[in-house]
Structure 1
Amino acid sequence: MKKSIICLIVVFVVYACKNEKTTESKSNTEASTTEIVNESQEIEPLVEIKPITNDILETAIIYEANIRQYSPEGTFKAFTKDIPELKQLGVKVIWLMPVFPISETKRKATGGEFANLIKDEAERAKMLGSYYAVTDFAKINPEFGTINDFRALVNEAHKNGIYVILDWVPNHTGWDHIWLKNNPDYYTQNDQGEIVHPEETDWTDVADLNYDNKEMRKEMIADMSYWITEEGVDGFRCDVAGSVPTDFWKEAIPQLRAKKDIFMLAEAWEPELLKADLFDMAYGWDGHHLLNDMAKEEKSLIDWDKYATKVVADYEKDDILMNFVTNHDENSWNGTIQERMGDASELMTVFSYMIPGMPLIYSGQEYNLNHRLKFFEKDSIPKTKGSMWDVLKKLGTLKSTNAALNGGKESASYLIFETNNKHVLKYTRSKNGEKITFIGNFSSKPQAFKMTTTGTFLDYMANKEILFNNETVTLEPWAYKILTDL
């Protein structure tokens, strides 16, 4: 992760060393620096945290924080006070959705139209736009608070042994970004010399960046470096990382790692992005889609076996995949966990912890969120602890304490035992003498199977002993058991 506080002179040097900016760009930087000076006495210096290591990644759970929707206030302060609660769930990495100012020009509204086309002023004011239409990579969205509020969040996370990564948007910017005015050659242009949005998308609220431009690359790396060296962040989740040339990551990531031990997550599946110390983790997209299909009984355990075999073939042993049943895109655009997975929701959530990789919790998942959060305007998650809080807390404890669930670069081994029922999976992981067996009924009907394992185990979720003696066992629809040694 990043080095701690660096004095304001270094802040000035970082910005001065960026490729020559216009007077307007420099004045923006100075204003940003002045804000830090004026508030410097309101918060203690950035809190150090030990460098992130693979041992930490082995047991890590990542939490995606949607600051706008996390609380009725939608602020850093409201989220910060709950960080100790997240620690109870085993969270070791907080991924903050973009915290930067959002462009006014071509700002999107609910329904996909541009906000400026809404005639009713009160309705128009509700449209806050997409976090991914960034207008300045070096400032904080005032909707969430101040730079000192952001620092307080990072400090509280670090005090609780949790790392903070920023959602970085390298593929495009909003239409108000200063680069559009002063450096139009930083952007992709059509034959008429017009700057365009990313092709083959409906992302009309953003302008596509041109990675053939070397100066833009330098500025992008400088902006990323600022958050590492000056604001204490511990890495980045990089939006649509596969749409950015891999040679940029080969240029940028070594420079960033030279400044601090960081954690890098790619919103991508491409195995090449995990090679040569580039990204630490990629998205398990195929696994996610398969879980959705299995919950609908459109795919089966046979398909899962094929997927697991493909993962072994496509990725290197020390590659990490992020396993998830929801995230901001899935929730807002494709449906809640309950909508997509129905009665299989808990089983699929638990299974995402049992397989190699790092499980993700998305804001509200821990509170049984069951509505699609609005994307372009204010909304809020429930804040009442229910059944899912207890499930995730138990899973977090097991993930943190049992080496058989290690999912980092030295992941625990796994073995799939066939049962005499094609709907029942028996799955065992082990490492350093510790072992966990997961048994699940991946169907909407009760299923009986021959339990060939004998002995007494701890039924972990029920916290009671259970004896198996080579008998036939019946599992209710979508039921599961996690068995550990006593």
Structure 2
Amino acid sequence: MRYQKSGGALSVLALSLALFGCGGSSNSGGDTDLKLHVASPDWQDQIVYFVMTDRFNDGDPTNNDQGAGEYDPKDGSKYSGGDLKGVEQKIDYIKGLGATTVWVTPPVANQWWDPQTNYGGYHGYWASNFMEVDKHMGSLDDYKHLSSSLHKAGMYLMQDVVVNHTGNFFSYPSGWDANDPTKGLVMNTGSKPGSAPTQALFSQNDPRVAANVKAGIYHWTPAISDYSNAVQEKTYQLSDLDDLNTTNPTVRDELRKSYDYWIQSVGVDAFRIDTAFYVEPDFFKDFLYSGDKANPGVMATAKATGRSNFFAFGEGFASDKAYQNTYEKKIDSYMTDPSDGSDILPGMINFPLYGTAGDVFARGQATAQLGYRIRQMMAMHKRPHLMPSFLDNHDVNRFLSGGSQDGLKQNLLMMMTLPGIPVIYYGTEQAFTEQRGAMFKGGYKSDDKDHFDTSAPLYQYIAQVSQLRKSNKVFSRGTPTVLKENAASAGAFAYKMDYEGQTAVVVYNTSDSEVLIDNVATGLAANSELTAAFAMNGTAPKVVVDGNGQFTLRLPARAAYVWLASGKTGTPAAATGTLTMSALTDTTEAGDFTVSGTSSKVASFKLVVDGDLANAKSVTPAADGSWSASVDTSTMIDSSIRHSLVAWSEESGAISASGTFYVDRPFVQVAQIDDPAGDDTGPTGAYHYPSDDSWGTNHQGDIRKVTVATAGGSMKIDIQTPLVTSTWNPSNGFDHVAFTIFIQLPGKAGGTSVMPQQNASLPDGMSWNYRIRAHGWSNALFSSSGASTSSEGTTVSPAASIQVDKTTNTVSFTLTDASLGKPASLSGAKIYVTTWDYDGGYRGLSPTTQQWSFWGGAATDPLVLDATQVITLP
């Protein structure tokens, strides 16, 4: 049905009221069995399952191939066959995970194939018509039936929407002139199924037509080349996608009409709004709250169908570095207007939490980074409980491509026990590592089998933690307080959640070895009993806090526990001895130092640094109970890191107060090599960068110098290139290049010479034990165990920390001794550095010019742009 503004036609809002009354669960159309309109839920209590529809399940094979050369399940750039019927068929599977809402990628009619980029619109974000269902996805009736089936199952439908752009129907690869939109113009005449949008307003996309220019539906601009430029961000083309002029009232009106339509005709319950940063915040006030009678704001339309709590949240793709909040502030500015405090979007995806949680759970960074992020989240945002949280999605690497299953399970538990709406990306429950692999047999990288195994360990685990959240509102509605964090490394982390008199305590050990969590001040009354509610592995120990409301525990490697305060009191284990330690409050040490104290009825104890029990020092007090011991600081390499120290006797239950200190121990340079300029042309000398202007003549992959410094068993590798770019706002501070660094340790067995996924082997008989693979948005460390031509090996944490110095065009990777298995010496270690680029996998290599792939070689040739000689440390 089409809705018009004039000619006596009934307004959209009036039509809604006529069809649906005041709300409730009324149906529409002639199918009286449909349940399209239901009351909104309390969104903070929901759990979302996000499907990339084309890759999820093929419910109707007859719609797969539309005859435009756009369908090929063997090709990741083309349609694979999933559709809306396929999603409906798997509602029970999704519900069994504990999910209450299904988020589908945009189902609207799309540009199917873009010959300029050799890529297809299977994902749904390249609209041709915002008010039609794409033929690959099925029909309008299919979409209605999905909505109805979800509602009958007590679930909700969330639609991904795009308001910033259409598909790529015109571009300005070169020669653009802001004063003449016809200069440098290239119309994408080979686009399939058509060379312009089919929605009438948006079909006015040819600036050679004066009426189209006057209508001003689009910004006649080239692709964004600098994502830090505010004008380009709001008015240039994102990856050459035609940028809508969202300040134009006509465009705003059409977009409201388009998305009101899906609420009314299908019964959509929520919107996820793509690329929100690329639209001015004021647009969303109009989009959500406009009082236009013909095409009202989304909220009014939703309310007319019985949805008094319609949820809309935006995507702001940006993660802050550790202990920074620049992008967090930007994200907040799309929820709350900084000028007057008024509301804009109800929520935004919590990208900063995603980035920090990945660093902590996947890459083994200090847990204090997560403590900082949680405190910032609660202090900065007005509605943190409405900020969807996630651990991977269709735009970033799968967690398991660089993290362990234990780390994944811990991250899932965090999502389920902190404020924010948890989002599970399809395939996570089946341990997917392929970013957009298909769940169904015959689909892209499905290994020719279905992946809907409800007995899979991660499926069962997600169902368990989902139930934990749903059974205890303290997790979805409570307020967190960080109780314990480790500023130096992976290890102990604890927080409590409080809500209406209920308290929960959540504890993790993010380290791959046993740690001590000491003197945790819960704020609970003396002798309060904690009841075990969850254990990731094994059984949670019984905990009764002491007279000061504190507890101390030994935590196994990768442990995670949840307790609920029972309201009862118990009897804590009584200490049979005492320990004291000389006051140590943020002192700065130049090297090893001595600490002392007293004891009573303690035969021996452990001096524990940064919670690390595996390397704790055993101390035997003197006859009079006095004691002193030296603290080894040889591996403490960052003067800004705050370390902790405690004396603890497990046998007697005695524990001292915690102490804190810093160590200023510098790295020492041990090797440096210069690499020739201009040799970033591959092993044959014929390779070229992708043709997109963002590479241009920057030569980001041309290694010029590598410097290696060591501090004890730790290593710092500085890589200098001609230019460090950050065009795409990468979270790691550099883009358009991926560094792969191979490290062979002296005397360590089990290495391999294969260079995974790079079609190459190490030179000069070198075998690697550890391998760094990092680009702008990923940072992973692997051991050689299980490595092959296709497998990257076994993930290891902590991963390298990354620093970028744009003044010297240097990217630095620092590996602690723990990252390298605490080697006795680095003398004789070998290092080999290569460059390429990475986008969900190493970018492809083609014989002919490509915009987004390297070219000048066969796909099976080595994926190495530049490489150093093998560097041997003295």
Question: Normalization by structure 2: what TM-score?
Answer: 0.45
Aligned to 1:182: 204
Deviation at 1:318, TM superposition (A): 6.0
Which has the larger share of helix?
A: 1
- Kept in 2, the 8 Å contact 1:419–1:450? The answer is no
Partner of 1:427, secondary structure, is strand
Distance (whole Å) between structure 1 residues aligned to residue 350 and residue 162 of structure 2: 20
Aligned to 1:273: 334
Question: What letter corresponds to residue 480 of structure 1 in structure 2?
Answer: A
Pick one of 404, 408, 411 that aligns with 1:345.
408
1:425-458 superposed Cα distances (whole Å, 9 cap, x missing partner): 1211121233321110022221123376763522
Aligned to 1:31: none
Partner of 1:168, secondary structure, is strand
Partner of 2:403, secondary structure, is helix
Aligned to 2:349: 283
CA separation of 1:239 and 1:128: change in aligned 2, threshold 3 A: closer
- Kept in 1, the 8 Å contact 2:53–2:123? The answer is no
Listed as ranges, the matches of 1:213-292 within 5 Å are 213-254=248-289, 255-259=297-301, 260=303, 261=307, 262-268=310-316, 270-275=331-336, 276-292=342-358
Question: What letter corresponds to residue 79 of structure 1 in structure 2?
Answer: V
Deviation at 1:474, TM superposition (A): 2.5
Bigger CA radius of gyration: 2
Aligned to 1:438: 506
CA separation of 1:374 and 1:396: change in aligned 2, threshold 3 A: closer
1:322-342 superposed Cα distances (whole Å, 9 cap, x missing partner): 111111111xxxx22112322
CA separation of 1:137 and 1:197: change in aligned 2, threshold 3 A: farther
Distance (whole Å) between structure 2 residues aligned to residue 253 and residue 128 of structure 1: 27
CA separation of 1:309 and 1:153: change in aligned 2, threshold 3 A: same
Structure number with greater CO (CA < 8 Å, separation at least 6) is 1
Question: What letter corresponds to residue 543 of structure 2 in structure 1?
Answer: F
Task: List gaps (5 residues or longer) in structure 2.
Answer: 8-27, 60-81, 170-195, 206-211, 228-236, 290-296, 317-327, 337-341, 567-874
Aligned to 1:57: 43
Distance (whole Å) between structure 2 residues aligned to residue 59 and residue 93 of structure 1: 11
1:158-178 superposed Cα distances (whole Å, 9 cap, x missing partner): 112222121111110012313
Aligned to 2:790: none
- Kept in 1, the 8 Å contact 2:506–2:560? The answer is yes
- Kept in 1, the 8 Å contact 2:105–2:124? The answer is yes
Deviation at 1:48, TM superposition (A): 4.6
Partner of 2:312, secondary structure, is strand
- Kept in 2, the 8 Å contact 1:443–1:478? The answer is yes
Deviation at 1:267, TM superposition (A): 0.7
Aligned to 1:364: 427
1:16-48 superposed Cα distances (whole Å, 9 cap, x missing partner): 2289xxxxxxxxxxxxxxxxxxx966x545415
1:102-155 superposed Cα distances (whole Å, 9 cap, x missing partner): 2146257xxxx325xxxxxxxxxxx55442111110011111211111111000
Distance (whole Å) between structure 1 residues aligned to residue 298 and residue 139 of structure 2: 25
Distance (whole Å) between structure 2 residues aligned to residue 158 and residue 131 of structure 1: 23
CA separation of 1:107 and 1:132: change in aligned 2, threshold 3 A: farther
1:341-389 superposed Cα distances (whole Å, 9 cap, x missing partner): 22422112211222211111011112222323259x9525722231111
1:274-326 superposed Cα distances (whole Å, 9 cap, x missing partner): 23443222111111111222235463122222222222332125662211111
Partner of 1:435, secondary structure, is strand
CA separation of 1:18 and 1:69: change in aligned 2, threshold 3 A: farther
Aligned to 1:460: 534
Question: What letter corresponds to residue 422 of structure 2 in structure 1?
Answer: P
Aligned to 2:590: none
Q: Sequence identity of aligned pairs in percent?
A: 19
CA separation of 1:351 and 1:132: change in aligned 2, threshold 3 A: same
Pick one of 52, 57, 81 that aligns with 1:66.
52
Deviation at 1:93, TM superposition (A): 2.3
Which has the larger share of strand?
A: 2
Does 2:147 align with 1:158?
Answer: no
Aligned to 1:140: 133
Distance (whole Å) between structure 2 residues aligned to residue 281 and residue 458 of structure 1: 33
Question: Normalization by structure 1: what TM-score?
Answer: 0.79
Partner of 2:39, secondary structure, is coil
Aligned to 2:176: none
Distance (whole Å) between structure 1 residues aligned to residue 314 and residue 247 of structure 2: 21
- Kept in 1, the 8 Å contact 2:34–2:148? The answer is yes
Deviation at 1:51, TM superposition (A): 2.1
Distance (whole Å) between structure 1 residues aligned to residue 253 and residue 121 of structure 2: 30
Does 2:370 align with 1:304?
Answer: yes
Aligned to 1:24: none
Aligned to 2:493: 425
Does 2:337 align with 1:294?
Answer: no
Pick one of 453, 473, 479 that aligns with 1:384.
453
CA separation of 1:424 and 1:298: change in aligned 2, threshold 3 A: closer
Partner of 1:460, secondary structure, is strand
Aligned to 2:436: 373
- Kept in 1, the 8 Å contact 2:127–2:166? The answer is yes
Aligned to 1:26: none
Distance (whole Å) between structure 2 residues aligned to residue 18 and residue 446 of structure 1: 71
CA separation of 1:64 and 1:107: change in aligned 2, threshold 3 A: farther
Q: Across the two proteins, how many residue pairs are aligned to each other?
A: 423
CA separation of 1:181 and 1:468: change in aligned 2, threshold 3 A: closer
Distance (whole Å) between structure 1 residues aligned to residue 312 and residue 288 of structure 2: 9
- Kept in 2, the 8 Å contact 1:172–1:207? The answer is yes
- Kept in 2, the 8 Å contact 1:324–1:360? The answer is yes
1:39-62 superposed Cα distances (whole Å, 9 cap, x missing partner): 966x54541554224xx2232111
Q: Quick check: 131-140 or 423-432, which moved more? A: 423-432
Q: Quick check: 237-246 or 417-426, which moved more? A: 417-426
- Kept in 2, the 8 Å contact 1:106–1:204? The answer is no
Distance (whole Å) between structure 2 residues aligned to residue 479 and residue 18 of structure 1: 64
- Kept in 2, the 8 Å contact 1:415–1:427? The answer is yes
Aligned to 2:556: 476
Pick one of 458, 462, 468 that aligns with 1:398.
468
Distance (whole Å) between structure 1 residues aligned to residue 249 and residue 43 of structure 2: 34
Distance (whole Å) between structure 1 residues aligned to residue 104 and residue 6 of structure 2: 25
Does 2:517 align with 1:449?
Answer: yes
Aligned to 1:23: none
Partner of 1:305, secondary structure, is helix
Question: What letter corresponds to residue 245 of structure 1 in structure 2?
Answer: E
Aligned to 2:847: none
